[in-house]
Structure 1
Amino acid sequence: MWRFIVGLLATVGTLTLLGIGGCAAFLATGSFSTTKPLPQNVVLSLDLRDVPSETTGGGLLGGELFGGKRDILETVQLLWQAADDPRVVGMFVEIGDESAGLGRVQELRQAIAHFRGKGKFAIGFAESLGSGGTHFSDYYLASALEQIWLQPSGGFAVAGLAIETPFLKDGLDRLGVRVEGGKRWEYKSAPDSFTDTAYPPPARENLQQLLDSLYGQFVSDVARERHLEPAKVRQLIDSVPFDSEKAKQERLVDRIGYRNDALDEVTTRAGKNRTLAALAEYANDPARPRPRGDTVALVRISGAIMSGSPSRGPLDDDNVATSDDVVDALDQAASAKEVKAIVLRIDSPGGTYPAADAIADAVGRARSAGKPVIVSMGDVAASGGYMAAMRGDVIVAQPTTITASIGVFGIWPVAHGLLTSLGINVDRLSVGTNAGMYSVFQPPTTAQRAAISRQLDEIYADFTRQVGEARKLEGNRLDAAARGRVFSGIDAKKMGLIDELGGLQLALNIAKAKAGIDESRQIELRTYPPESDRWQKIVDRLLRLAGIDAQGPTVRAPREVRDTLARFGIVARPGNVRLPPLPPLWR
C-alpha cells in the first residue's frame, strides 16, 4: 500500500509538471503573442544590467521550462538584424553589469558598432559607475555607445583589473590534509591554490601578462571611443573614485541626469512618435527581417566538458557540456544534407581529457565529411575547451577571450594526517600493486607516484602532439605556446593558436566563404541538437523525478507507477508504459 501511494504521488507530480511544461511550451512558441507588427520609428530598448549569458541553460526552473532569457548569441543576432531594419532608428541601453565576461562584452560592442555604422543612434544610461566594485565590464560596454548618461549620485570608480586567489596549503597542512598529484607544466596554475602558499613565479608571470593584455585592450578601446589619449585614460583610472561631474568634465561620460532625462533625449533624437520596444517585443515582431537561405549549423559547448551524461537532478543548472551530447550534435550536423558549414561555439574552462578528445575527433570527422567547421570562442576556451577547438578549419576568438592552457593536472586530497591526529586508523585489504592508488585515506607509495607522473607525461605528450599537428606548430613554437600558459585572444593569435580576432558574425562570414556561399546571400543559423531534443530531455528529467527511466517515447517504470498510470487512463503494457502523444514542440 505504501509503495502504491509513493507511486501515485510521484506520477501525479510528474503529470502536473508535464502539464505545466506543455503550457509553458505553448506560451514560448508565441501562440498568445500579438501578430501586430511594430510601427515605424522604433527605438530598441536593451536592459544590459544583466548581460546575457552564453546559453539560456539554467535548468527547468531557471529557464528551460519557462522560456528564460535570450542568450548572448540570440541577442547579438537580433542587434545585427535591427541594424538592417529601416524601422529601427536607435537604441536605448541600460548599463550596470560589472561582472560580465569580457568576451560577451566584446560581442555586444561589435554589434553596437555595426548598429551605429548604419547611421543609428545608441544612448546609454547608468545609475552608477561607482559605489563599490570595479565597474570594468559595464563601463567597457558603455564606451561603445554614442552617448553615456550617468546619474548625478552615481559617481565613477572604474578601477582596473585584479585576480585574487586563496592559497590553502598552510591551512590544509595544519589540518593534516595533503594534496597529492601533479601538473604539466609550470604554467598550469589551477592546482597551485592547493599546493602552494602564493603564486609560483611562472604562474605570476603568465597571469600578469594576461591582465596586462586585457587591460591594454580596455584602455585602447576606451581611448578611441572617448577621444582621449591612452595615457590619459590610465591616469584617470588610477585616480578614481570621483563624482559624476568630474567624469563628465574628463569626457568619460557625456551627460549627467536621471533615466527619464536620458529617455527625453531619446525622444528628441527619434521624434515624438517614437515607440520604445524591448528586445523581446522586437524578437516576436512578425515584420522583423528573418534570414532565410543556406543553412549553417550552430553547435555549442558551454561549461565544463565531461564524459557521458551528467549526474544532476531535473531541476539543476546546465553547467556542463557532455561529450556524448556535443559529439551527437556534430554528427547530426555533419550528416544533414542541408547544412553547408558548422559553427562550433565554445565557452568552457576545460574538463576531462577523454571527453575533450572525443569532441576533437568529432570535429575532425565533420571536416572529413566535407563540412567546414569554424570555431567561435566566447569568454573562455581553455585546456579541454581549447582541445575541442584545435581541429577547426578556422578558429575565431575575441581579443579578450581567455584561451590555451595546454597542459594537464590531476590532484586529490589525502587526509591521513588528519585521521591520525583524531586517533582514527584506516586499514586496507587489496589485490593488485596499485589498488587504492588514489585513496583519500592513505598516501600513494613511491612507485604509485611514479606511475601517476608517467600518466601525466603521456597525456601532456598526446595533447601537445595533437595541437602541433592541428595548428602546424613544432619545437620551440609549440613549447612556447604550451606548458599550461593561458593567453588573451590577441596573444593567442601571435602564438599561432587561433586564426582570427572577432565574434560570431565574423565566424559566420568565414563559414559562408568556406562553404562557397556568396557573401551577399543570407543564411539560416540552425541550432544542433534541435530545440525539440532539448524539450525531450526536459521530459526525460521529469520522468526520472518520478522514478521512471525514459527510453524515447516508451518508458520503463516500476510496477506501482505503471498501475497508477493505468488508473489515469494511460495505456500500460507489461514492463513498460507508453506516454500520451506529446505536443509537436516535444517530438
Structure 2
Amino acid sequence: MNFFKRVLSTLTGLILFFVICFFGLIILGVVLGSGAEKTIQVKPNTVLDLTLDFPIQDYAGKVEFKEYTFLNEHRKDGLFNIIDAINYAAFDDKIKGISIDNNFVNAGVSQLKELRRALLKFKESGKFVLAYADVFTQKDYYLSSVADTIYMSPAGLMEFKGLYSERLYFKDFQEKTGLKMEVVRHGKYKSAVEPFLSNEMSENNREQISVYLNSLWSEIKKEISESRHVSVERLDIIADSLLARNPHLALESKLIDKIVYHDQYVDVMKAASGLTKSDDLKYIKIKDYAEYASTNVKNYSTKNKIAVIFAEGEIIYGEGDVGVVGQGAINKSLKKAREDDRVKAVVLRINSPGGSALASELIWREVALTKKVKPVVVSMGNMAASGGYYIACNADKIIAESTTITGSIGVFGVLPNVEQLARNMGINAEQVTTNQNAVTYSLFEPLNETQRQFIQEGVLDVYELFIDRVSAGRQLTKDQVEAIAQGRVWTGVDAVNHGLVDALGGLDVALNEAARAAKIEDYRIKEFPVFEKNLDKILEQFGIVKAKETILKEELGEENYKILKEIKSLSKKKGVQLLFPFSTEIK
C-alpha cells in the first residue's frame, strides 16, 4: 500500500506543479504577444543602421502553434527581408542613408554578395552609404567596401590576408583512444570522412579545396577592386604583405578613406543628413526596419504568386525546422504550392551541405511531381552540395551565385565503433542470433567483410541513383556526370562550365526566370515552409512538461514501472485469455 501511496502523492504534486507552469506560460505568452503588436515608427532624417551582428539566415522562418496562436512567430530578419528593407529604404523619404557600423558580420560569402548588390542598387538613389569599424574582419571589409566612404578607428585593426581552410585529422587519435569510425564511401573527392582514414590531407582533397578557395578569393578581390579602384594585383600584394593590418597602412593602401573616432563618424553622418552637430541623429536598426518595410511592400494588385520554398541547413529524415531541412516540411510546402492555382511557379532556394540520402530522394520526387504542373527554378545560396545538389538537379532551371559551393556528387557512410575502447575498459559484448546476418552492425564488434560488403553495396546503389538523377535532370550522359562527380565540389562559375548550373545570379534572377517560365509579369511572393509546432512536445524536451509514462518511469524506475504496467493490464482483462505465458522483449 505504501508503494501506491507514494505513487499517488508524487503524481498529485507533479500535476499541480505542471498546471501552475502551464497557466503561467499562457499568461506570459499573452503578455509577450500583445507587446509584439506595437507599431514601429520611422521618423524623418533617420539613418538605417545596417549592423548585422546576428546569424544571417536566408529564411528567418514562420512558426505556428495551432493550440497557442499567441506564440506564433514570423520573423523578418532573414537575408531577403534585409534586402527588401534596403530596397524599400531607397524610396523612403524618411531614410537619409545607411550606416555599416562595427559589424562582425555572421554570413556566408554568397549572402554578402547578395547584400552588396542591394547596397549598390541603393546607392543609385543618391543616398549615402557610410562604413565604420574598430576592427574589420575580411567579411566585414568585403561588405563595407561598397560604401561611399570607409572610416576606421585610430587604434583599429584590419584583417585582409586571403582565405584559408583548416582540417583536423583523427587517425592516430582513434588508435590511441580505441574510439574508431568505420567508413564506407564512394568518390575519390568525398573528403568529409578523410580525417578518419588518414593523418594527412590527400592530394585530391588539397587540389579541390585550393581550387574553390582561389575561386572565392578571386571573386572577392574583383568586387573590392571595382569598389575601391585598387587593382586585383595590388590587392594580392596587400594581402601577402599584410599592408592593411593597421589604420595607417590601410589608408596608405587605399582600402579606407579616413581615420576618425566614432563620435567624429557620427558628426559626418549628421552633416550628410542635413543636421548640425548639436542635433540628435536618429537611427533605426535593420531588424526593426525590415519589420516596418514588410508591412509596406506587399503588392495586392495582382493575384499571381511565386512560391519561394527555403531549404536551409543539413538535410535530415523527418519534419525539419528553421535551419534544418526535412522532407516533411519541404514536401508539404511543395504540395501546397503545386495545388494552389494562384501560385504560378516555384523557386526552391537551397542553402544546404546535404545530409540524408533518403530524405534527399523523397524531396527530389516531390520536385519532380511539382514540375509536371508548374515551373520549378532553383536558387542556390552559400552552398548546395551533395544532398543539396540532389534536390536541385531536376529543376527546370538552376541559378547559382559565382561564390556558391555546389556539386559534391558522392556518397559515404560512417559508423562509430568502440570495440577497442570497450576492451580497454574491460567490457565485452556477446550476441545471440537466430540468423546469420541478424546483427547488421554492433558498436562493440569490428565491421566484418560481409557487413562491409553489404554497406558498400548500399553506398554504391545510392551513388548510382545520384548519377542517374543528375544525368536525367541535367541532360548529361552518365559518363559526363561521372567525370565531374566522385564527390568533387565546384564553385558556381565552374558548375556553369560543367553543366551543373544554368546561370549565375541571386534570388532575383531566379524569380525573374520563374516569372518568365510562368508567363507572368506581376506577382507576389509567398514564402514556405511554415513550421507547425506542438508546445507540449517542446516543453517535454526541456523537462518542463512530461508525459505521464515518462514521469512514472523516472519516479519508480524502469523495472517497477513495468510491474505497475503489468498489474494494470491484468486488472483490465475479462474472460478467457489466449495469451503468451510471460512477458518478453525481442530486439
Q: TM bucket by the smaller chain?
A: 0.7 to 0.9
Q: CA RMSD in A?
A: 2.8
Query: Which residue does 1:352 correspond to in 2?
Result: 356
How far apart in 2 are the matches of 1:558 and 1:178? Answer: 36
> Does the CA contact (< 8 Å) of 2:326 and 2:359 recur in 1?
yes
> Does the CA contact (< 8 Å) of 2:52 and 2:106 recur in 1?
no
Query: Which residue does 1:584 correspond to in 2?
Result: none
Query: Which residue does 2:381 correspond to in 1?
Result: 378
How far apart in 1 are the matches of 2:172 and 2:284? Answer: 56
Counterpart residue type for residue 53 of structure 2: R
Deviations 1:28-87 (A, max 9, x none): 3xx3225xx635544322112335233436999xxx878767111211121122224354
Query: Which residue does 1:582 correspond to in 2?
Result: none
SS in 2 for 1:347: strand
SS in 2 for 1:5: helix
- The answer to whether the aligner puts 1:470 opposite 2:470 as a matched pair is no
How far apart in 1 are the matches of 2:55 and 2:423? Answer: 50
* Residues 280 and 425 of structure 1: CA distance in aligned 2, closer, same or farther (over 3 Å): closer
Gaps spanning 5+ residues in structure 1: where? 130-134, 311-316, 550-555, 560-587
Pairs within 5 Å for 1:106-117:
106-117=113-124
* Residues 459 and 296 of structure 1: CA distance in aligned 2, closer, same or farther (over 3 Å): same
Counterpart residue type for residue 200 of structure 1: S
Shift of 1:404: 1.3
Deviations 1:529-582 (A, max 9, x none): 44xx54x54576347752469xxxxxx9999xxxxxxxxxxxxxxxxxxxxxxx
Query: Which residue does 1:527 correspond to in 2?
Result: 527
* Residues 166 and 448 of structure 1: CA distance in aligned 2, closer, same or farther (over 3 Å): same
Query: Which residue does 1:424 correspond to in 2?
Result: 427
> Does the CA contact (< 8 Å) of 2:394 and 2:472 recur in 1?
no
Pairing partner for 1:144 from 121, 141, 146: 146
Counterpart residue type for residue 30 of structure 2: G
Pairs within 5 Å for 1:404-419:
404-419=407-422
Query: Which residue does 2:582 correspond to in 1?
Result: none
Query: Which residue does 2:578 correspond to in 1?
Result: none
> Does the CA contact (< 8 Å) of 2:160 and 2:245 recur in 1?
no
Counterpart residue type for residue 90 of structure 2: A
SS in 2 for 1:396: strand
* Residues 369 and 89 of structure 1: CA distance in aligned 2, closer, same or farther (over 3 Å): same
Query: Which residue does 1:96 correspond to in 2?
Result: 103
- The answer to whether the aligner puts 1:338 opposite 2:337 as a matched pair is no
Q: Give the share of equivalent positions with the same residue, in percent.
A: 29
How far apart in 2 are the matches of 1:92 and 1:478? Answer: 46
Deviations 1:243-285 (A, max 9, x none): 2022112110112112222222222222129753332443454
- Tell me the matched-pair count: 528
Query: Which residue does 1:570 correspond to in 2?
Result: none
Shift of 1:485: 0.7
How far apart in 2 are the matches of 1:177 and 1:289? Answer: 55
Pairing partner for 1:176 from 172, 175, 178: 178
* Residues 537 and 127 of structure 1: CA distance in aligned 2, closer, same or farther (over 3 Å): farther
Query: Which residue does 2:35 correspond to in 1?
Result: 27
* Residues 12 and 69 of structure 1: CA distance in aligned 2, closer, same or farther (over 3 Å): farther
> Does the CA contact (< 8 Å) of 2:100 and 2:131 recur in 1?
yes
Pairs within 5 Å for 1:103-502:
103-129=110-136, 135-240=137-242, 242-272=245-275, 275-285=282-292, 288-292=296-300, 293=302, 294-309=304-319, 318-370=322-374, 372-502=375-505
SS in 2 for 1:198: coil
- The answer to whether the aligner puts 1:541 opposite 2:538 as a matched pair is yes
How far apart in 1 are the matches of 2:317 and 2:55? Answer: 30
Gaps spanning 5+ residues in structure 2: where? 1-8, 65-70, 553-587
How far apart in 1 are the matches of 2:170 and 2:540? Answer: 42
Counterpart residue type for residue 368 of structure 2: G
> Does the CA contact (< 8 Å) of 1:481 and 1:497 recur in 2?
no
How far apart in 2 are the matches of 1:154 and 1:24? Answer: 40
> Does the CA contact (< 8 Å) of 1:376 and 1:396 recur in 2?
yes
How far apart in 2 are the matches of 1:557 and 1:283? Answer: 43
> Does the CA contact (< 8 Å) of 1:18 and 1:539 recur in 2?
no
How far apart in 1 are the matches of 2:457 and 2:56? Answer: 43
How far apart in 1 are the matches of 2:381 and 2:477? Answer: 27
> Does the CA contact (< 8 Å) of 1:52 and 1:75 recur in 2?
no
How far apart in 1 are the matches of 2:58 and 2:535? Answer: 20
How far apart in 1 are the matches of 2:79 and 2:394? Answer: 25
Pairing partner for 2:78 from 71, 76, 79: 71
How far apart in 2 are the matches of 1:254 and 1:51? Answer: 28
Deviations 1:96-119 (A, max 9, x none): 325531121112111111111333
* Residues 345 and 541 of structure 1: CA distance in aligned 2, closer, same or farther (over 3 Å): same
How far apart in 2 are the matches of 1:202 and 1:151? Answer: 43
Query: Which residue does 1:11 correspond to in 2?
Result: 19
Structure with bigger gyration radius: 2
* Residues 51 and 543 of structure 1: CA distance in aligned 2, closer, same or farther (over 3 Å): closer
Deviations 1:416-475 (A, max 9, x none): 223233333221112333232321110122122112111111110000110111011214
Deviations 1:156-201 (A, max 9, x none): 2312111111100111012233322311111001011111111111
SS in 1 for 2:155: coil
How far apart in 2 are the matches of 1:111 and 1:443? Answer: 55
> Does the CA contact (< 8 Å) of 2:56 and 2:106 recur in 1?
no
> Does the CA contact (< 8 Å) of 1:55 and 1:72 recur in 2?
yes
* Residues 18 and 516 of structure 1: CA distance in aligned 2, closer, same or farther (over 3 Å): farther
Counterpart residue type for residue 512 of structure 2: N
SS in 1 for 2:101: strand
Query: Which sits farther off after the overlay, 173-182 or 204-213?
Result: 173-182
How far apart in 2 are the matches of 1:327 and 1:26? Answer: 33
* Residues 524 and 12 of structure 1: CA distance in aligned 2, closer, same or farther (over 3 Å): farther
Shift of 1:318: 4.3
How far apart in 1 are the matches of 2:27 and 2:492? Answer: 46
> Does the CA contact (< 8 Å) of 2:161 and 2:238 recur in 1?
no
The alignment's TM-score, normalised by the length of structure 2, stands at 0.83
